[in-house]
Amino acid sequence: QKMISRSSVRLGDIARAYFHSKGISQFQLAQMQLLQAYPGSHHQIWHRDNIQPGLTALIALRNVKSNGPTEIIMQSHHTTRSFGSFLKHILWPAGASSSTSSSEDDLDTTDSSLFLSSSLSPSSVNQRILLASIHAGDAIIYDARCLHRGRGYGKGHVDTTTPAADDTDRPVLVIRWDANQTPAPGGGIIQTTLNIWNGKALSIACTVLDWLDL
């Protein structure tokens, strides 16, 4: 995981560095969409944007706090690891190989699941599940293989400790880059269903471990 300052690089530079680190020379801007969530919305399903290497950017068009931030299961992009290693890196992230840096020259993303917005603290990289609460105009960029979902909000979901202004609709701009040879999503209904259940099981396990302070 790398910390990127507000003015150090462009999104295209990060995408280029990411695919270069994967040995991929041909990639494209595959998706650009406005994603809106309104009060009373429900959680998205846990999903991956692509089961093959790719990069997704979420740009907040309004402050994202209690109004439906995206949850990302850290280290869940390492789909080629053995099952035991995969679980170890997710459930005990402090033992995973990760680092933080503010240098624009340090863009090796081989073992990183996301670039952190300046809105987020460096300690976020050691969380099991990252809650992407970011400021308007900031972006969070993550490996498209990461299990993630947009949180619902409204009755039963609103954080009453945050200002009421944060509990409005949540527009974000979604931008995704994919390799030319592996367009998203890369899997069918069976893979989608497996991702849903993997996300549910991992989120429960991570929550229990956090409760136990382990």
Distance (Å, rounded) from C-alpha 5 to C-alpha 187?
Answer: 35
pLDDT digits (tens, 9 = 90+) for 79-132: 777 788 888 888 887 644 433 333 333 333 344 555 555 555 555 555 789 988
Please give the residue that has the higher pLDDT: either 184 or 157: 184
Give the separation between CA 79 and CA 130, rounded to whole angstroms.
Answer: 18
Q: pLDDT class for 199, splitting at 50, 70, 90? A: very high
Which two three-digit tokens encode residue 154?
């409204």
CA distance 51 to 213: 31
d(CA 90, CA 94) in angstroms, rounded, equals: 9
* Residue 156 burial (C-beta neighbours within 10 Å; 0-12, 13-18, 19+): exposed
Q: In what order do the strands lie in the sheet with 139-143?
A: 2-3, 114-116, 139-143, 54-60, 170-179, 27-37
pLDDT tens column, 11-20? 999 999 999 9
Identify the bridge partners of residue 143 per DSSP, sorted by sequence position. Answer: 55
CA–CA separation, 138 and 58 (whole Å): 8
Average pLDDT over residues 37-42: 84
Phi, psi of 46 (to 5 degrees): -65, 135
pLDDT at residue 155 in the model: 56
pLDDT of 210 > 50? The answer is yes
Amino acid present at 101: S
pTM assigned to the model: 0.78
